A and B are shown apart, each in its own frame.
Chain A
Amino acid sequence: KQEVTQIPAALSVPEGENLVLNCSFTDSAIYNLQWFRQDPGKGLTSLLLIQSSQREQTSGRLNASLDKSSGRSTLYIAASQPGDSATYLCAVSDYKLSFGAGTTVTVRA
């Protein structure tokens, strides 16, 4: 059974600092890894999807890397802003998604 772990569970940084969020998974036989953002009381917004054959994906200030062999992914958010405050979830797909518990980020103005 796939186990997905996100460390840290919570993170607080001043505005402008770069964010580094970690995700690890136990079974490397995955199709892809997806990073989501969730605002309080809301659904999930897809941020980035990395196929198993890729090493990284970029979208604006966001960059996600994938090391399938070691079972790790990292989401980098450059020059953080208060609007980046949210919970970030990673999920790995081996035909269905298995989610981590998330990292709750607070960016202080």
Chain B
Amino acid sequence: DVKVTQSSRYLVKRTGEKVFLECVQDMDHENMFWYRQDPGLGLRLIYFSYDVKMKEKGDIPEGYSVSREKKERFSLILESASTNQTSMYLCASSRTQGIGNQPQHFGDGTRLSIL
């Protein structure tokens, strides 16, 4: 079974802090994704990566950056955390063969609170 592991289930940080969310997958997937999930807004794509050191903006990249130095690890960075970034963050991975053709597998999520 595919395993996507997010480093923290719950995280509390202060406004202005630099925040790192880590995601690791164990199935050698080429593609990795970061989403946030908010009540009434559903899941929205922040960034995705289709290869090491490659990244693409999703629908809501403002205030975020990402890093993919190794194939199995995809990090989401909040450069200067703000209260409107309080949310549930979900990481996912998938095989390539046409980025849209393979199922995405999700981690358990990180519930981030910015105070």
For residue A36, which residues in chain B have a CB less than 8 angstroms away from its CB?
A: 106
B90 located at the interface, meaning its Cβ lies under 8 Å from any Cβ of chain A in the complex: yes
14 contacts between A and B (CB under 8 A): A30-B100, A31-B101, A32-B100, A34-B103, A43-B6, A46-B105, A49-B103, A91-B43, A93-B100, A96-B45, A96-B58, A97-B43, A97-B45, A99-B44
Asked if A89 contacts B43 (CB within 8 A), the reply is yes
Q: Give the bracket for the number of chain A residues in contact with chain B.
A: 20 to 34
For residue A46, which residues in chain B have a CB less than 8 angstroms away from its CB?
A: 103-106
Please, what's the 1-or-0 string for A20-37, where 1 marks a CB less than 8 Å from any CB in chain B? 000000000011101010
Query: Given A100-B42, A101-B40 in contact, is the A43-B107 Cβ separation under 8 Å?
Result: yes
Cα–Cα distance between A99 and B98 once the two chains are bound (Å): 19
Please, what's the 1-or-0 string for A70-93, where 1 marks a CB less than 8 Å from any CB in chain B? 000000000000000000010101
